[in-house]
A and B are shown apart, each in its own frame.
Chain A
Amino acid sequence: MKNLQKTYEVTQKVERLFEVTVTQTDFWEAVLYISTQTEFNTLSQIACADWIEEEHFLLTYILTTDARDKNLMLKLTLGREYESMPSVMTLFPQAEVMERDLHEMYGIGFEGNETLYDFVLEQWHDLPPLRREFDTLAFVHEHFAFKGGREDNKDVKVEQKRRREEAKKQKALEAAKQEAKKQETEKQETEKPKEPNTHATDAEETQDKKPDTKEAEDGQ
């Protein structure tokens, strides 16, 4: 850990998770250094996220210690246009399948990995399916037909949005109601001490108001 902090800028994400960001050119040097000179000597996962708006992939190599008590995320960005990375297979043999998977799902090349042929998808000729420009629904409708009975199904996302908004509105309404009640009760409470209980009529009035305030309190 000390070694690592000397050479790289390490940010601590949570208690046992650390993060180092490198550039694509520095990557090989960094991974070589970390795996040999620090305690993070095992690769447990390679994750990839497709940031299509910013036109890059975010690759995260998750390295872990022998004792499996700390994790390090080694992050780098990679261009989306079928660029390639150096393979880390020589350091971690288990990277083979992870790289193969990334190659198949995102079209990322890995120099030095010779197994980048069909993996989970067999004879796939379309775009790599996890790239975000791959239109899943269009693909489904092009290749499959459905039986009747699905006409009345709703778009899940639209329906979710609608329900969420409805719930929000309901909440806002209730909050407004409670606000109004609160204000009423506050008014009553502030009015009370102003009027001294000298007259019998006043006492009656306050008695009338009491149940209202109780209800408001219950509602809260």
Chain B
Amino acid sequence: MQKGFVAYNNEQKSLEAETEGIKNSQTLIQKAMNWFSARSMFVVAYGTGCGAIEMPPVFTSRYDIERLGVVGVATPRQADIMIVSGYCSLKTLRRVIRTYEQMSEPKYVIALGSCTINGGMYWDSYNTIKKLEEYIGVDMYVAGCMPRPEALIEGFVKLQESIRNNTIQPGYVKYREDYAYYQANQEKLLGKETQPVYEEDYAGMNLS
């Protein structure tokens, strides 16, 4: 438990370090925009690893995160937040990248679980990525294996706070400005086709 929090703090510090200056340079409109987007978070319903199991209780009556302004939504095009909930295989990563790029800005990513931070217990697996931040922009880490719903909710609250106060440089800004870096990483791992290609004919069957 304690270890998880230490990791969380370190990760979070590394994200927040560069952003002290941004805080006070907001215009009134920006402030209003931030306030609004902090209060309406639409989460794309997409789960990658075992952490996806913790998301249903968060969204349903047990923990009911809707009271904080967080709602699930079925398509990435209307979503503001993606939760990458745990380990991410190479095949999944292609889908994650496509989902991420389909989301419109402002968009944020919460990385849930140790696997997204540094490989977690799958550190020696040939088929899961180790650091999510190399491939897409990440705004919030929630450490733990797996994190309890309370931890995820705390992650949401922290993210809302930092959006409202503008204390982090959002991942999507980094992704947009530093796209060459992210693309190079993606291509190094996945080859030229960093997004899924659906052209196979399933054993001669016509699926359409």
Contact A149 B118 (CB under 8 A): yes
Contact A140 B118 (CB under 8 A): no
Asked whether any CB of chain B lies closer than 8 Å to the CB of A136, the reply is yes
Q: Which residues of A contact B117 (CB under 8 A)?
A: 147
Contact A140 B193 (CB under 8 A): no
Residue in chain A with minimal CB distance to B118: A147
Residue in chain A with minimal CB distance to B192: A123
Give the distance to chain A from B37, nearest Cβ to Cβ, in Å: 29
Contact B124 A136 (CB under 8 A): yes
Contact B127 A121 (CB under 8 A): yes
Binds B, one of A36-44, A112-120, A168-176: A112-120
Contact-residue bracket for chain A: 20 to 34
Residue with the greatest number of chain A CB neighbours at <10 A, chosen from B129, B130, B131: B130
Chain A contacts with B in 136-153, Cβ cutoff 8 A? 136-137, 139-140, 143-147, 149-150
- Assuming A117-B200, A136-B124, A150-B123, is B91 touching A144 (CB within 8 A)? no
Asked whether any CB of chain B lies closer than 8 Å to the CB of A15, the reply is no
Which of B90, B190, B193, B203 touches A114 (beta carbons < 8 Å)? Answer: B203
Contact B130 A146 (CB under 8 A): yes
Count residues of chain B with CB under 8 A from any CB of chain A.
26
Residue in chain B with minimal CB distance to A96: B203
Asked whether any CB of chain A lies closer than 8 Å to the CB of B189, the reply is yes
- Assuming A136-B124, A136-B125, is B130 touching A121 (CB within 8 A)? no
Q: Which residues of B contact A195 (CB under 8 A)?
A: none
Asked whether any CB of chain B lies closer than 8 Å to the CB of A109, the reply is no
Q: Which residues of A contact B189 (CB under 8 A)?
A: 143-144
Q: Which residues of B contact A120 (CB under 8 A)?
A: 91
Which of B7, B91, B123, B126 touches A122 (beta carbons < 8 Å)? Answer: B91
**Which 4 pairs of residues, A with B, have the shortest CB-CB distance?**
A144-B130, A122-B91, A147-B118, A115-B203
CA–CA, A136 and B124, complex, Å: 7
- Assuming A115-B203, A123-B193, is B127 touching A129 (CB within 8 A)? yes
Asked whether any CB of chain A lies closer than 8 Å to the CB of B86, the reply is no
Q: A122-B91, A123-B191, A146-B131 are in contact. List 12 more A-B contacts (CB 8 A).
A: A122-B90, A122-B94, A123-B193, A136-B124, A140-B123, A140-B125, A143-B188, A143-B189, A144-B129, A145-B134, A147-B131, A150-B118
CA–CA, A147 and B7, complex, Å: 12
Residue in chain B with minimal CB distance to A140: B124
Asked whether any CB of chain A lies closer than 8 Å to the CB of B119, the reply is yes
Contact A145 B130 (CB under 8 A): yes
